[in-house]
Structure 1
Amino acid sequence: MPPPGLSPSTECLIPVVSLSISGTFPKNPIAVTGQSVVFKVYSKLYRRDVAVKIVSQNAIPAAVAEKFLPRELDVTMKVRHPHIARCLAITRPAPTKIVIISDYYERGTLLDLILEQKRLKENPLAVTLFRQIIEAINYLHTRGITHRDVKLENILIDGNGDVKLIDFGFSRHVERRERSRSFCGTQPYTCPQMKKFRPYVPFCADFYACGVVLFTMVVGKWPNLAVSTMNIFPDKYPSRACRKLITALLDENESDRAGYDECVNSEWMGGHPAWMFANHAYFYEEVPTRAIDPDPWNFEMTEC
């Protein structure tokens, strides 16, 4: 009998995938959905633990498979950034199966971290993780890609405690001021325009979701966005500077909503003495505040 949630066709595929990565699959997956199953596997080929996601294309609605799946695979394979999950390979070992092999990140999601710690201390933890999140978002945006499903569950934490953005199922290439009419994403992260089924600027929607993420990080619960953003905070925390940034990110007006530059130059983030960033070779380097290149990840690959 296959493990619960694992179809016979997927079970038959496992030996093929196992051979391709020189790894032995465990008995049970670490995640199962209606469309996919994910295993943690030690791969001799990659010499480390990897996440193997097997997608059943025939379990995905035809319209979604035709419109969103090609975008997801294209973006997943192309992006390379220290704070975006690294895709190692994408294969199609069977006509209706897609296998995505990625690095495995052992500390779970940002949501798991918040549930464990109740709420994150603003400095240095929350401010550092949030800087990493917006660096990943800015990397995508400067390349004309919008994520459209930024949420705590789509942010993983690696063994060093650093952020890795995942899941490009709703991502797409857009022009800078282009408006989208695809109402995708996850409550409560969706912007007001999307909730009202109005065309929206996807880049602005990503930063609205970042505002919800930041609020939840420092407060430990979802914001009550049914009330004014001025009244969503507890009495004692977060700090005034952090409240100001969250309020700017949650601005209902897209034209006034904070983006990458406003975050980096905000009082809350600007007071940080230095930032630790990983380059493409996964070395870490200290970068003084306000000496950040507009696109700090635009440099050549170097050898580890």
Structure 2
Amino acid sequence: MIDGLLCSPSRVFEETIPIEHLELHDDSTFLEEPDAPEKTSPSSSLRLKDLIPVLYQEGRYQGEPVTLGVGGFGRVELVTTLHHGKYFAMKRVSKKHIVAKQQEEHVLFEKRILKAIQSDFIVRLHFAFKDTRYIYMIMEFCAGGEIWTKLKEVGRFNEPIAVFCTACVVEAYAYLHKKGIMYRDLKPENLMLDAKGYVKLVDFGFAKELVHGDKTYSFCGTPEYMAPEIIQNQGHDFAADFWSLGILVYELLVGSPPFSSSEPAKIYPKILDGLLKFPPYMGEGAKSLISKLCRPRPGQRLGNTKNGIKDVRHHRWFSSMNWHKLRVGQVEAPTIRLIHKGPCYINFDRFPFDQAKADEEFSGWDKNF
């Protein structure tokens, strides 16, 4: 749980999880064979010292290193290399903070998941480094910025943009669920746009391996997106991801989620009541899809019945989507008009540079990082 590191500060899920309820992931066999041949990394011999910060070219932070996001555990910075001229998002996390919050296993698990994943709808981890103060995850840079930022800029998305964004998430889900991984942290803050306007999932801090047919009992996620069975601690499985998909469709089309409050504790009763109020401008197809994804009983949810995720793809709201063309990157992304042209960091909020250094940490938990 790297604490919404690529998140906007609006809805970071801080400490809602009692630490004793957090599950640690076991190290059993994990994603033995990638579905596709490994795509070559930008350089197999890149070292941490080869990475140099990208600096703001103008504005109040001119000359300072570009920060793409901040979270309770650290920062995400924009870096490049002298030789390749390629950009990366470098997630830098304090080892001392990870130990203090008992997140060692989660961090190791997130790294292992991201290293094994080969999907065009999920952000790639190219390299991982560590020193005495930090662990560093060198991720694919998604130049288009966060879906959350774009949603705030325009208020709400028109239907073609919402359909496209959701379809990208469906493809990411299909890949993960086939591999036995629940995502469990869907929200606009965790969706990034690449330069082509395609949507990619980031932040795998709540992801978990699960055998199909089993349930897990941890209490985790972002309150507005939590399925009723997680709140009631009844045990949950992949169906919880489909609930959150319905919430996402609603938020993309409306600009805010259907169940919300400034206090997380007040959100849960609303979710359990399950009363979805649709604005008059929402189309019938969208209402139908959201209602079927957000059924209170997990076994009745679209995506979680016998045809699985195919039922989601075949829903009429996606009738304009050519799924094969999407998978091979041949759909022209309607999101492209949301992406601003300018310096490579133009689509991100700006943050002042933090010169403070984390304390050193020598417990050795990261020997396999």
**TM class by shorter-chain length?**
0.7 to 0.9
Q: Which amino acid aligns with 1:272?
A: S
- Indicate the residue corresponding to 1:74 in structure 2: 112
Higher RCO, 1 or 2 (CA under 8 Å, sep at least 6)?
2
Is residue 232 of structure 1 aligned with residue 277 of structure 2?
yes
Alignment check: 8 A CA contact 2:147 2:192 kept: yes
Q: Distance in 2 between matches of 1:197 and 1:152?
A: 25
Alignment of 1:1-304 (within 5 A): 19-21=49-51, 23-26=52-55, 27-28=64-65, 29-61=67-99, 64-92=102-130, 94-122=131-159, 124-201=160-237, 203-224=238-259, 226=270, 231-235=276-280, 237-259=281-303, 260-269=309-318, 271-272=319-320, 274-275=322-323, 276-279=325-328, 284-285=329-330
Following TM superposition, the consecutive aligned residue runs of length 4 or more in structure 1 with deviations greater than 4 angstroms are 227-231
Q: Distance in 2 between matches of 1:51 and 1:189?
A: 26
Structure 1 unmatched ranges of 5 or more: 1-15, 287-304
Alignment check: 8 A CA contact 2:156 2:255 kept: yes
Q: Relative to structure 1, is the Cα distance of residues 278 and 263 closer, same or farther in structure 2, using a 3 angstrom cutoff?
A: closer
The Cα of 1:230 is off from its aligned counterpart by 5.8
Alignment check: 8 A CA contact 2:123 2:139 kept: yes
Alignment check: 8 A CA contact 1:18 1:24 kept: no
- Indicate the residue corresponding to 1:9 in structure 2: none
Q: Relative to structure 1, is the Cα distance of residues 47 and 75 closer, same or farther in structure 2, using a 3 angstrom cutoff?
A: same
Q: Distance in 2 between matches of 1:192 and 1:121?
A: 28
Q: Distance in 2 between matches of 1:46 and 1:145?
A: 33
- Identity fraction in percent: 26
Q: Deviations over 1:139-164 (max 9, x none)?
A: 00101111111111000111211101
Q: Relative to structure 1, is the Cα distance of residues 45 and 263 closer, same or farther in structure 2, using a 3 angstrom cutoff?
A: farther
Structure 2 unmatched ranges of 5 or more: 1-45, 56-63, 261-269, 304-308, 332-369
Q: Relative to structure 1, is the Cα distance of residues 219 and 33 closer, same or farther in structure 2, using a 3 angstrom cutoff?
A: closer
**Which has the larger share of strand?**
1
Q: Secondary structure at the match of 1:81?
A: coil
Q: Distance in 1 between matches of 2:138 and 2:83?
A: 12
Q: Deviations over 1:183-238 (max 9, x none)?
A: 1111100100111222111x111111111111011122210372765641012x22
Q: Relative to structure 1, is the Cα distance of residues 176 and 45 closer, same or farther in structure 2, using a 3 angstrom cutoff?
A: farther
Q: Secondary structure at the match of 2:168?
A: helix
The Cα of 1:261 is off from its aligned counterpart by 2.0
- Indicate the residue corresponding to 1:300 in structure 2: none
Alignment check: 8 A CA contact 1:51 1:103 kept: yes
Q: Distance in 2 between matches of 1:194 and 1:106?
A: 34
The Cα of 1:64 is off from its aligned counterpart by 3.6
TM-score for the superposition, normalised by structure 2: 0.66
TM-score for the superposition, normalised by structure 1: 0.79
Q: Secondary structure at the match of 1:55?
A: strand
Q: Number of paired residues?
A: 262
Q: Please report the RMSD computed on the Cα atoms of aligned residues, expressed in angstroms.
A: 2.3
Q: Distance in 1 between matches of 2:75 and 2:316?
A: 43
Alignment check: 8 A CA contact 1:224 1:232 kept: no
